[in-house]
Each structure stands twice: as C-alpha cells, then as structure tokens.
C-alpha cells in the first residue's frame, strides 16, 4: 500500500510540474499596418516552444479538392512574438 501511495505522489508532482511549463506569448504583425487586430493575439504554449520561434502566422481555410478536403493558408503575415508577462 505504501508503494502505491508513493507512486501516486510522484505522479501528482510530475503532473503539477508539467502544467507549470505553459506560458503565454503575445504576437504582433511586423509586415502590415496594425489595422487588423486579429493578428495581435495572445497564445498559450507548452514549455517546448519558445515565443521567439514563432515567426509567421496565418489563417487556414478548408478547400474541397478531388477526393476530400485540404487546408489552404490565407492571410499570411510575419510576426514578432514575446512572452506576455514581459
């Protein structure tokens, strides 16, 4: 019984540590005027992705093609992202 409680305690600590790695990034366009507020957004990312790694942002739309559907990028913009807490 003691081993089971120890394993549960370790698993709980691992889950808490994993959740704390999330952070927020604020991204702003650098290649167009600030008249489109949809591209000035805040995103929640996991710890594996840095805000500096995001350099381009786009919206995607479904397009019907022969045999199914696919995604097409529209409204592609260069962005600069930073940690939202800064």
Residue 54's closest CA among 24, 9, 15? 24
Q: Per-residue pLDDT tens, the chain, 86 aa: give them.
A: 665 455 555 555 555 555 557 888 888 888 766 555 555 788 888 878 888 998 988 888 999 999 899 999 888 888 899 988 75
**What pLDDT is attached to residue 2?**
60
pLDDT value of residue 19: 52
Residue 25's φ and ψ, nearest 5 degrees, are -120, 135
47-70: b or e for each residue (b if 16 or more CB lie within 10 Å)? eeeebeebeebeeeeeeeeeeeee
């Amino acid at each position: 019984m003691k081993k089971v409680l120890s394993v549960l305690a370790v698993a709980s600590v691992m889950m808490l540590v994993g959740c704390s790695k999330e952070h927020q990034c604020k991204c702003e366009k650098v290649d167009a005027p600030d008249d489109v507020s949809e591209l000035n957004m805040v995103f929640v990312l996991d710890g594996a992705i840095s805000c500096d790694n995001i350099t381009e942002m786009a919206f995607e739309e479904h397009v019907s093609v022969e045999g199914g559907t696919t995604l097409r990028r529209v409204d592609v913009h260069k962005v600069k992202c930073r940690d939202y807490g800064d």
